[in-house]
Structure formats: C-alpha cells, structure tokens
Structure 1
Amino acid sequence: MLGSLLVVTGVIVLSYIWWKNLRPRNFPPGPQGIPFLGNLPSLGATPAVKLLEWKCKYGDVFGWYNGRQPVVVLSDFNTIRRVLGEDSASGRINKRAFRNNHTSIPIGIGLLWSEGELWRTHRRFALSTLRSLGMGRNWMEDSIIMEVEGFCQALRETNRKPFDPKVHLTNSVSNVICALIFGKRFELTDPKFSKLTSLIADNLSLVRMEFLVRVLPFLMWFPNQVRGQIFKARQNETLIAEFMKARVREQDGIGGKQAVGYVSAYRKEQELQRTDGVENPLFTEIQLVGSLYDLFTAGTESTATTVRWTMVFMIENPEIMLKVQREIDETMGQKSVLTTAVRASLPYTEAVILEVQRCANVFPLSVPHRTRDDVQIDGYTIPKDTLILPNLASIHRDERWWKNPETFNPSRFLDEDGKLTRPNDAFAPFGIGKRACLGESLARTELFLFVANLLRCFTLELPEGKTLSHKDYHSSIVDSPLPFELIFLPRF
C-alpha cells in the first residue's frame, strides 16, 4: 500500500515538474498534461468538443500540448481575425508523418501546406488563374448544373430504394473541379475516378494520426495499426499524385490553344518565369502536382460534405425541408432547373444553406497555422513554431454572436420581411485571414445549385427502422456525417 502511494506521488510530482519546465513564460493558461503525451489523450474522438470545454474553463485564448508541441487555440472571432491577418502566423506544420522530403508529394508543396514566398506566389497565381478560367462565370455555372442534373438522375434511378449518396455526390462535385483545372469531366461510375475520390476522403479521415505520431514517433519503428495507417496514407498520396501526373501529361499532349484549365495556365506562367532557359524554382513540376492535389481535395470535400450535412439536417427538421420546397414551388415551380439567376428570389433556401454551414462546421479547426516568429496575442507570448488552431466551431456557437446557437434556425439569417441579411462577422465556414479558402465563390455557387435543385426534385426520407442525427459524425480535419442511406422520393 505504502509503495503504491509513493509511486503515485512520484508520478504526480514528476508530471508537475515536467509541465512547469515545458510551459514557456507568459504562455496562455490551459489544462495540465502528462509527460511525453501532453494533452493528447484528453482530446477524445471529437477534439472540437473538448476544446470548447477548455475554452469555457480557460478563456478565448488557451494553450495545450500535443506531446512537446505547444498548441494555442483561439476562440474569439476578433482575435482570430487579427492574428490570422499577420504573416507571422501564416506558417504551416513543417513536420508531417504523411509527407517528407522523399514522399511522392514532399513536405511544404502545393497551396494548402506551403508557406513563405512559395505560398504567397502561388496563392496570387491560383486566385488570378481561377478567376480567368471562369470561377463564377456562366460556363462554370453550366458545368455545375450538368453535374447537378446527373446526380439527380442517379437518385431517380434508385427507384425509391435506400441509397447512400456519398460516392455519386462526391464524384459530381469533383467533376466541377476537374472542369476547372483539367478542362474535362469523368463519368460518375468511372471506377478509377471513384477510387481517386475515396483515396482523398481516406486521407482526410487519417489526418489525426499525424498528431499521434508527432507525440509517439517510435510508433513508426515497428508494425502496428498507427504505422499501417500512415503507410496507407502515403501510398494513397502516391496513387493520387500519379493520377494528377497523368492528367498533366494529357493536357501537355493537347497543347496549343486547345488546352484549357489550370495546367495550361501553369505552363504559360512557367515560360514567363523562365530566365535564360532556367526554370524558376517556384514553378516546378512537383509544385504543379501539389497544387492540383490541394485544389481537387479542398474543392471536393468541403462542398460534398456540406451537401451531405444538409441532408442530415433536413431529415432532422422535415418542416424546414417542406418550407424550402414550398418557397421553390411558389417561386419557380417544380420542373424548372434552378440557376443562380433566381438565387435572390429564394432567401429561405439560401438561409438554410448558411445555417447548415454554421451548424455543421465542416472544417471545425480550419487548417493548423504555425507561428513563424514570436507573437503577442491578448497579452500572452506565443513562441515561434507554436501551432495556432482557429476554433471556428466555437465562434459558430458563441452566444456573443448567435442567439440560441445550438438550435438549427435558418431564420437567424433573415430580416423581419423574410429577406436575406448579411451574415454577421462571426460566420466563417471558409476560414479567416490570409489563408482563407481560395474557392469560396465557387463553393457558394455549388452549394446553392446542388441543395436547391436536390430539394426541388426530391423529398428525403429515412428507411424504415433507421435513425440519423447530426451528433453522429467522424471527426478529423473534416467533420463528416457517418455513412447513411436515404430514400429519395421524386416530387414530379
């Protein structure tokens, strides 16, 4: 008995000493961790929920440790906007288990995970290129509507039988991105295309493993489940990179004025940036592959997952689904395909989409930032190389900005006359600051066209004996509903 008491006391003392020595001076308050693991074991299956609990206890700015890696969570909108507007907080994780200097897509490549001059150069290039290629223009809308109609036709062919829409929906949304970056689309039933989108979804679901390996690097030294998942993710990235390289070769083979899309624009920029026959090191082949990977991933997952969340919330709130359908019927009728031209005439439909984005929090913690220098935040000193997590899920549930934030209520986005109002500042489903989403305008257009036309064409029902709740989801860098089947009842 005495021996056990001494052991417990020793562990407590050593943990306290370890914690005090680890925590920098003037670092934000936060939960005490345990040696070597930090606070990782406390996060559980839904980290955003635990971080919300810690916010209530420690305030809008608090710190915790992923092993020995300091992490600061920001939960106040104004603080997030100020901090993420600075270059000093624009860094990315510079050590990843999925990627290193020898993997098919190296660390620090692309649009999402690059930083410094490489990131600034390619963010500017991507923004200007996507605009010039038609993001937000009529031909782009025509491409989206074609995918919407193809998706709805696939739902009709289910003949009112239970159906999981995930694969067809993901492929439909992916085709919009393919039109933009490759100038072509794929058949929804193409097995190679379906495999590609599933590989990307798999890797997004495995991102949490990276945090675990950073804490326990020895897990990569011997066979175990975590090591197997990391190797699986690396193999997935190799397959995705090969797909992207094949599409690049296709575009290069087209050549001349017939070539369209991001690839051809990149080739033209490479030539402009070439000096005395020497390639600009910022415009390399692997940077092109990494950029395509990020555009494809971000442009697919966020929109497709939000549409699936819409289905979940409509099942939970059938009276809201009926109200959307009534607005559509009275404004346009059932048989007319809805376009963005009628968007302003469907304020309640638009409000429902905004409320789904607020409640679903597809990217609850955005993509982690890293401080590139020491930073002062609300009187605290944040050391260089600290990870910064903007808690978007928290600000979307902040009672300082939202009345009854836990209630699904689209009317919060409407005025007294039923007209759409501008969302308040604390509405940030596409991120905040210098690294906010590149494709926000495209995503907003896609969401309206997919959701409005889906509910124009179908009433959603659960199969007999099944249940569906927004509280059941898989949490990683993306929060996505668990797999579900619905019955899609045609309305005409």
Structure 2
Amino acid sequence: MIEFVIGGIVLFLGLIYFRSKRTAVNNLPPGPPGLPVVGNLLQLGRTPPFKRFMEWRKTYGDTFLVKMGSDYPLVVMHDYNTIKKVLSDEVTAGRDQGFVFLKELAGKGLILTQGDVWKEQRRFAISTLRDFGMGKTWLEDNIIGEVEDMCGVLRQLNQQPFDPKTLLSHSVSNVICALVFGKRFDHSDAKFGKLSTLFAENVQVIGPILTIVQAFPILQFIPGPFRRAVKIAQRNVAELHSFCKQLISEHQSQSSSESADDYIDGYLKEAQEQTRKGIVNSTFTEEQLIISVLDLFAAGTETTATTTLWALIFLLENPDVMSKMQKEIDDHIPRDRFIRMEDKGLLPYTEAAILEIQRCASLVPLGVFHQILADTVIDGYNVPKGTLLAANLYSIHHDPRYWKNPASFDPNHFLDADGKVVHPAAGFAPFEVGKRSCLGEAMAKMELHLFIANIVKNFNVENEPGKKISHENYVSSFIIGPSPYKIVFIPR
C-alpha cells in the first residue's frame, strides 16, 4: 500500500515541480514510450533492469533510450563493438555529478570524478598499483597467505555446512589492506569486520535505489523504503569515511620511510611533491585520498569475493568441470603447495573455467553509468550532452552472436581445438572496456585465479544435506550476487 501512496505523491509533486531542462533533439535513439514524469520507471516492475532492457532490445534494437524519470535519460547499448567504440571516446568518460543523497562522494575519488581530476588521479592510481602490486611477488605472497588462512578455516569446519561469504569478503579485503595500508587485519578484529560489512551493505543498498532517488530526489524526504535506504547509505558512507580517515591519520603519523611502501605512502609523497613545486589547486588532497581509498575497497572487495561465491555455485552445478580442473591441477602441481601465478600457463582448462565463471556471473551487469560530456552520435543516433550511458554487459555475455551456447556453463567457450586458452576479441568485458575500464583489472585477475584454483585444489564441495543451490537464485543490485547459501567443504 505504501508504494502506491509514494507513487501518488511522486506523481503529484512531479507534476508541480517538473520542468524540462533539455531542448528538442532530432533523431534520438528509439525506446519504449513512458508516462509523464515517471518515464519508464514503472515499466521496469520487479524485473532487474538489465533483463528488462534485454526484452526491450528485441523491439528497439541494440541501442535505445529509456527515461528513468522525465529528466533522467539513459541510453543503453547491447552490441559489443558499439560499446567498445563509444566507451573509448573521451566524450563518454563523464560521471553523473548530481548525487542527491551522497554528495560527499560526487566528483571525488576514482570512480565518480571526471575531466582533468579523473585523468590525474587515475594515472596516479594505475602507476602506483603497478609499482606496489601488479606482478610483484610480495602482493602474490599476501594473496597466498590469505588463501592459506582461508583454507585452514574451511578445514576446521569438519564438513559442517557453511556460508563462505563473510570469510571470503574478509580475505579479499585484507589483500586491499596490504596494498593500501601496508598491513593486514585479523579476521576477528571488530573494526575490520565492520568495514567489510559496511561495504557489502552499501553495494546491496545503493544499487537498487540510486537511479530512482536520483530521478526523484523528493523520495529521500518521504517516509518509506527509499528514505530508509538513503539513510542507511548515508550512515554507512559516514562511518566508512571516518574509519578510513582515522587509518590514514595513524598511517601518516607512523610513516618515517623515505620510500613509498603502499598506496597511502605514495599518495602523501605525491601531495608533498606538488606542494614543493608550488602547484596551485592540487587534486592531491586528504579528502580525495579518503574517497579514493573507499573506492579501492568498494571496487576491489565485493566484486572479487562475490565472483568467488559464484564460482562455488557453478562448480557445484557442474561437477564434471570441477573434476577436470582437479585432474589438471593434480597432474601439474605438487600436493604439498599452493598454486601460484607462475603455474597459470600449466592450467589452461582451469583458466578457461574461471573466465567462464566471469561470463556467466556478469557481476556488474550494467557497468558504472557514464555521462556524455558533449553532444555526440551513438550508433547513428543523436545523443545530447548530459545523457547517461550504460553498457548491458550481461546481455553481451549471453548473446548468441558471440557465444555458441550462451545459456550453458562451458569452459570450452574459452578454449581452442588444441585446448589452449583463447581470449575472445568480442563479447567479453567483465571489467568493462574503454577509457574507464576497471583500473584494478590485473590485480582482480590474480586474486580470482589464486582464490578459485586453490579452493578447487584443496576441496570438493557439496550441497547442504536436504538443500540444493542454483545460479538462478540471486539478488540484483549494482552487482548480481547469489542468494545466501551454505555448502559443505570436503578436504581432498
């Protein structure tokens, strides 16, 4: 009942306050006709947007326009080649700067910045992550250490049904901690546990409400589910901000080395160098550092941990795949040690299975929305400045134009006739593509390989007695996550 009341209030207030900010544009992309004020929002219903968009694609083509409210247009793309071309253009590299309920994040950090600030901060982040982590033995050693601890916990369960979500989140978070803070936390640390919980909760909360509240800011003030979700998101961001600020302050007071040993060290030294050079209006500020750290955790923890949760489900549903992975691993890797990155070339089937997990999971189905910075043309249509842009990555990952049997879980999608790994030229973009593709892609690939392959090496998995999990049971928000489940880990 309250949803109908809220809907009526939104319509009423919208009719009073609505005013168009856009001039008429000819040759806009086609799209489903919407209602006054609410646009196409009500037509989404309870269906996840990425799936509703796939239905509309059958009618309106690969590129179409939806209105998430009368003044919140969104162009959705479904063709890989179009997506790659469009997202490689700097004119599409913007982000929505008008966050109405998380204003402290807008225009800061690594995810929501744009223009010169984004270019400078991204360039620094990529360089620093490469220098401190990508391809470095110490980072791999840290990951292996987390994998070893995780496997130890799983062995101690004595084959009791277990929900691995929290354990995986803590283990992956500690990898980010090593990179950012130069240290790890004990899993029993209350503050560390709170940090992981807040990030997970925000990913689940922000995704479903973001577009709706952005389109109708009045909802954040009306009692009901949207206001409650906004309050949760605001509270969590405030706590995360305070937590990271405290850790950065402690880190700064304890650091005495001339060299930079982690991300914060590198950032603070770059800020000092810019001050020394007399650079005015430097983007290397404390607030920018705090939000950047939050972004690194948000992007690097839930994505990798949730992909590993999906891996367990797909392997449980496809025991023949898990058996082939285990045989390949047993044939090449000694039983008394963990798999390392140097072993990856010996395990093509295992690598292909991990790639197939990423394809089938399509963790971030619509990527992160872009904003168009100037009038442009997309797929032959005129698209005005300020329009939001989404790539339906789930759609291309399940498109028969690129995949022989897109509905089937089959590692052979990534293997040639000789059993060698093939990285498809089209139809695969788990880290998005273009200028704003995931800057932590290399580290994520390393983590996924080391976590998933070593779990497979050390354990068989079975359903909880009397229950059966399925990849069709999921929760859709900003990311697609499996519904909570318990499984049995059987040491090999």
Once the two structures are superposed, residues 404-452 of structure 1 have per-residue CA deviations (whole angstroms, 9 ceiling, x without a partner) of 1111110121111212222333211011100001111111111111011
**Residue equivalent to 1:368:** 369
Deviation at 1:280, TM superposition (A): 3.7
**Residue equivalent to 1:156:** 155
Q: What code does the residue aligned with 2:245 have? A: K
**Residue equivalent to 2:69:** 67
Change (3 A) 1:153 1:22: farther
Query: d(CA) in 2 for partners of 1:332 and 1:323?
Result: 14
**Residue equivalent to 1:197:** 196
Contact 2:374 2:384 in 1 (8 A): yes
Q: What code does the residue aligned with 1:29 have? A: P
The 10-residue stretch of structure 1 (343-352 or 414-423) with the greater mean CA deviation from structure 2:
414-423
Aligned positions of 1:50-89 closer than 5 A:
50-68=52-70, 69-89=72-92
Query: d(CA) in 2 for partners of 1:167 and 1:180?
Result: 20
Query: d(CA) in 1 for partners of 2:472 and 2:68?
Result: 26
**Residue equivalent to 1:3:** none
Matched, 1:283 2:281: no
Contact 1:70 1:386 in 2 (8 A): yes
Give structure 1 stretches of 5+ with no counterpart: 1-10
Aligned positions of 1:332-481 closer than 5 A:
332-481=333-482
Once the two structures are superposed, residues 29-80 of structure 1 have per-residue CA deviations (whole angstroms, 9 ceiling, x without a partner) of 1111112111112223411111111112211101110002111001111111
Give structure 2 stretches of 5+ with no counterpart: 1-10
Contact 2:352 2:411 in 1 (8 A): yes
Q: What code does the residue aligned with 1:479 have? A: I
Deviation at 1:22, TM superposition (A): 9.2
Deviation at 1:279, TM superposition (A): 6.0
Contact 2:200 2:302 in 1 (8 A): yes
Deviation at 1:379, TM superposition (A): 1.4
1:367 aligns to what SS in structure 2? coil
Query: d(CA) in 2 for partners of 1:106 and 1:25?
Result: 34
Query: d(CA) in 2 for partners of 1:62 and 1:283?
Result: 39
Contact 1:270 1:279 in 2 (8 A): no
Contact 2:352 2:415 in 1 (8 A): yes
**Residue equivalent to 2:4:** none
Aligned positions of 1:474-489 closer than 5 A:
474-489=475-490
Q: What code does the residue aligned with 1:93 have? A: D
Q: Kindly report the root-mean-square deviation, in angstroms, between the aligned alpha carbons of the 2 structures.
A: 1.9
Matched, 1:212 2:212: yes
Deviation at 1:351, TM superposition (A): 0.5
Matched, 1:267 2:268: yes
Query: d(CA) in 2 for partners of 1:419 and 1:400?
Result: 22
Query: d(CA) in 2 for partners of 1:232 and 1:279?
Result: 37
Moved beyond 4 Å, runs of 4+: 275-279
Query: d(CA) in 2 for partners of 1:276 and 1:72?
Result: 43
1:28 aligns to what SS in structure 2? coil
Contact 1:244 1:292 in 2 (8 A): yes
Q: What code does the residue aligned with 2:178 have? A: A
2:460 aligns to what SS in structure 1? strand
Change (3 A) 1:383 1:333: same
2:38 aligns to what SS in structure 1? coil
Query: d(CA) in 2 for partners of 1:396 and 1:160?
Result: 35
**Residue equivalent to 2:5:** none
Deviation at 1:278, TM superposition (A): 6.8
Deviation at 1:333, TM superposition (A): 4.0
Matched, 1:179 2:178: yes
Contact 2:133 2:443 in 1 (8 A): no
Contact 2:373 2:385 in 1 (8 A): yes
**Residue equivalent to 1:166:** 165
Aligned positions of 1:223-372 closer than 5 A:
223-257=223-257, 260-274=261-275, 280-372=281-373
Query: d(CA) in 2 for partners of 1:79 and 1:123?
Result: 24
Query: d(CA) in 2 for partners of 1:336 and 1:270?
Result: 42
Query: d(CA) in 1 for partners of 2:24 and 2:78?
Result: 20
2:413 aligns to what SS in structure 1? helix
TM-score, normalised via structure 2 length: 0.92
Q: What code does the residue aligned with 1:474 have? A: V
Query: d(CA) in 1 for partners of 2:34 and 2:133?
Result: 50
Deviation at 1:81, TM superposition (A): 0.9
Change (3 A) 1:414 1:288: same
**Residue equivalent to 1:139:** 138
Contact 1:156 1:488 in 2 (8 A): yes
Change (3 A) 1:319 1:117: same
Aligned positions of 1:40-119 closer than 5 A:
40-43=41-44, 44-68=46-70, 69-100=72-103, 105-119=104-118
The 10-residue stretch of structure 1 (163-172 or 246-255) with the greater mean CA deviation from structure 2:
246-255
Query: d(CA) in 1 for partners of 2:152 and 2:180?
Result: 25
Query: d(CA) in 1 for partners of 2:244 and 2:92?
Result: 30
Q: What code does the residue aligned with 1:197 have? A: S
Query: d(CA) in 2 for partners of 1:407 and 1:306?
Result: 18
Deviation at 1:459, TM superposition (A): 0.4
Query: d(CA) in 1 for partners of 2:386 and 2:278?
Result: 37
TM-score, normalised via structure 1 length: 0.92
Contact 1:97 1:210 in 2 (8 A): no
